[in-house]
Amino acid sequence: MKPATPTPAHAWTALVLTAIAGAVDGAGFLSLSQQFVANQTGNAVLLAVAVSGELTGRDDGLSPVGPLWSLLGFSVGAVLASFATRRHVLTSFGVPLLLVVEVVMLALAGLAHSFELAIALAAFAMGVQSIHAARIGLSGVSTTVLTGTLIALFVNLSGGRRGLRSARLQAGVWAVYLVAAGLGSVLAHAVSFGAVCWTAAAVAAAMAVAAYVEAHRGSLV
């Protein structure tokens, strides 16, 4: 099967959403006792190590609380977003519904004073974002868990001209995630985790506004 060729709009969407996930993940790892809010594969490992340490009496300094809240928040966000868009109804009156939800949850995560609530709300936003990326057809790209994107990159390297175009996007997604995670950790250290969440919410809000304007462009002409 030939790899799908990403459109410019899809490519920019993938890169921006990945930047949001990377920034929040980097900030969360630094500020929330080394918890991930987007990368749930990492949380699964942290949870397994923490539980095994408690069962065997090993003192690793790890707690299962953070990973559990993150996994729960992400799962609830993804499930609700999936059911809400099961008929691929992503917009209402031109407003991208899932992006709006993501903006609200990130803003609330930035305001949360509770460690557990901040993790859960940010992870909820990332779960919603994952479904948004899947629904708009970002083939071979996950904006929150990038192992699959890395595999797709290697597969597409041998896929001819079309495959190479997809591979460039997937390589870009990896680079953007790395840079954004670093910048997120810097901003979290210099200011706060909330500042990163509010910045990410502002970027997602700008995307929502751009999508709204694009949807109504025809009627305004």
Residue 50 has pLDDT above 80, yes or no: yes
CA angle (100 as vertex; 99, 105 as ends), nearest 5: 95
pLDDT value at residue 221: 44
Share above pLDDT 70 across residues of the chain, in percent, rounded to a whole number: 87
What is the three-class DSSP state of 157?
coil
Answer whether 107's CB lies under 8 Å from 122's CB: no
Read off the pTM: 0.86
